[in-house]
Chain A
Amino acid sequence: MSAPLRPAGISPTASRRLLTEPAPLRWTLIGLVLAFLAVFLILPLVLVFSEALSKGWAAYRDAVSHPDALAALQLTLLAAAVAVPLNLIFGIAAGWTVAKFRFPGRSLLITLIDLPFAVSPVVSGLVFVLLFGRQGLLGPWMEAHNLHVIFAVPGIVLATLFVSFPFVAREIIPVMEAGGTEEEEAARVLGAGGLQTFFRVTLPNIKWGLLYGVILCSARAMGEFGAVSVVSGKIRGRTNTLPLHVEILYNEYNFQAAFAVASLLTLLALVTLAAKTIVERRLYITTTAVKPDTIAETD
């Protein structure tokens, strides 16, 4: 299938010489990329950890295990723990709808799914304030019923939910579309019900795409700053997430503590990145095996 793109009679080494740029240009390009990576990625990463540890292990431990930091970590994980499963369900539902059915308004739906990508997080935070805030649309009613969203945990969860919702849907729509509907139809004709079809046929086919989406979604949920910052109110120990806590510490010139907490976030990011790499490889293997060598014949 993937025959090398090489004229017959030319050896691999010869074709390599034919196809690649001259050595100086090659090394310049590689050097540029490496320099860029070093300045913008590696250096900051190293700085985060070196600043965090600049006052030794004890100070690091104190900063990280400070009750406010722990509360922030807890809230961050809580927001992610609520947002990710909900977005998983939403993503599957949206992916299923968009990939398996043709209906009027389908492309509008696809556009709407991307809305959180397009809108600045601060704006989306403000929207929640306008909706649920004291002067907001639903504010008086909520106040009457003693429900608190803005400057409280529900608001943070909502904002996190909103900014992280496209990830799962975005990832599985292409996987589902590539799979088509034939396998589901085959399952139906063989007597499988809706749930059986989903768990036995659809889910195994999309699981790597789904996992990939979940990883990206978690990363965003834990790292979100803008939207959460607007709705949080930044009450220490109560409505502070990790990114917000970092900012507060930094604004108080407590650099070492700020970097220590930031290193927690960085570690979360590194774990996510590793998971993403592993899943990406599996995803590549499974999607390339989707339609191996059947020649589509039109009817």
Chain B
Amino acid sequence: MGIEVRGVTKRFGGFTSLADVSFSVAAGELVALLGPSGSGKTTLLRIIAGLERPDAGTVMLEEEDATTRDARDRHVGFVFQHYALFRHMTVFENVAFGMRVRPRATRPSDDEIRRKVGDLLKLVQLDYLGDRYPRQLSGGQRQRVALARALAVEPRVLLLDEPFGALDAKVRQELRRWLRRLHEEIHLTSVFVTHDQEEALELADRVVVMNEGRIEQDGSPEEVFEHPKTSFVMNFLGNVNIFHGRVEGGKALLGPLALDYPEHTQATPQPAAGYARPHELDLTRSDDGGGLWARLDAINATAAAIKLELTDEDGKLIRVEMGRDSYAALAPQRGERLYVKPRRLRVFLKS
């Protein structure tokens, strides 16, 4: 096991940032901590790194209890959100730093440091920039220097805090792909924090979805996307249409929609909501039951999936996505009344 976090709790003043969080990362795995602002994901990452002390719980790194170890003795690589490169040092010196501060007995020789920094800069494709200063680099270059610097200490685990947060969309895409390839190459146990669900789903072997200091779900990208355990996960991972209503006597009654809900057979009604992703809604011109009528307001045909916006009879927005072929077959017109029918509806009880 690369990293094991058990029952970690952290409070800042009266605010509980993490409440009894447990999860583990297998050796060589790339895991995403995904959640909105204030969900505690960065705090969790900092606790793993030793930059923050948990109020309760333990952190194991490679089967060794590291809870009380100082950050400097944990041998983790940490890439900060804004890179935190040493401003007054060249790129070369930034990467060499971790080796230079070692006690004399274990410090590599100058030649060795030079060779190793050279290798690392080659790995991040920046070997031609060794004598530049951080302020002379672009955001993407800084990011890669920060990564090389973190790898220079041969860390047991690599931790990245919003690694692509401060970059523009195109650079972000490229770096994402590049990081994925790099991970396949060096296979270092890695955890990265992100609030971008697309990033997490695309990059990670496993996604840990966090909310309000708790883990909502922990699973493969397919699992969390296709089988969200909670309404929060469903909501956070992509667009959803929500149909509010209740469940009673084995049925879910959600506005105009009704479906079987065997998990709740009691006669007492309980508030619930049905969730469907835009691509899980079908559009037809005839009422064949199990759906609702809505008016088509807007069509966006600029992507592979055509995006449609409809308004139901209560004035609620409904988002639908359909393939180009079925769009061409249906040929809907703006202003037209269409029948919306969910192919799939996930029902979550409201607490």
Contact = CB atoms under 8 A, between A and B. Distances in A.
A187, A190, A200, A295 pick with most chain B CB within 10 angstroms = A190
Contacts of A183: 84-87
Nearest to A183: B84
Interface string B168-200: 000000000000000000000000010100000
B92 interface: no
A244 B101 CA distance: 50
A28 interface: no
Given A205-B88, A294-B166, A187 B97 contact: yes
A299 B86 contact: no
Contacts of B75: 191
Given A183-B87, A189-B71, A289-B135, A200 B97 contact: yes
B101 A186 contact: no
Contacts of A21: none
Given A189-B71, A298-B37, A299-B42, A182 B84 contact: yes
A289 B101 CA distance: 25
A153 interface: no
Given A186-B78, A192-B72, A297 B51 contact: no
B19 interface: no
B165 interface: yes
B327 interface: no
A186 B135 CA distance: 17
Interface string A168-207: 0000000000000011011111111100100011001100
Interface residues of B, number: 39
A188 B71 contact: yes
Contacts of B102: 191
Nearest to B49: A189
A144 interface: no
Contact of B139 (A188, A294, A296): A294
Given A292-B135, A293-B139, A299-B37, A189 B162 contact: no
Given A298-B37, A299-B195, A190 B98 contact: yes
A193 B81 contact: no
B341 interface: no
A182 to B, nearest CB: 4
Contacts of B162: 297, 299
Given A185-B80, A289-B87, A299-B81, A190 B135 contact: no
B201 interface: no
Contact of B51 (A188, A204, A299): A188
B82 A294 contact: yes
B5 interface: no
B93 to A, nearest CB: 9
Of residues B37, B72, B77, which shows the largest number of chain A Cβ atoms within 10 Å of its Cβ?
B72
B51 to A, nearest CB: 6
Contacts of B347: none
B72 A186 contact: no
A22 B88 CA distance: 45
A191 B82 contact: no
A47 interface: no
B87 A205 contact: yes
A252 to B, nearest CB: 53
Contacts of B82: 182, 294, 296
A30 interface: no
B149 interface: yes
Given A190-B97, A190-B149, A294-B166, A185 B84 contact: yes
11 contacts: A182-B84, A183-B87, A185-B78, A186-B84, A188-B72, A189-B71, A189-B72, A191-B98, A193-B72, A200-B97, A299-B195
Closest 3 CB pairs of A and B: A182-B84, A190-B98, A192-B101
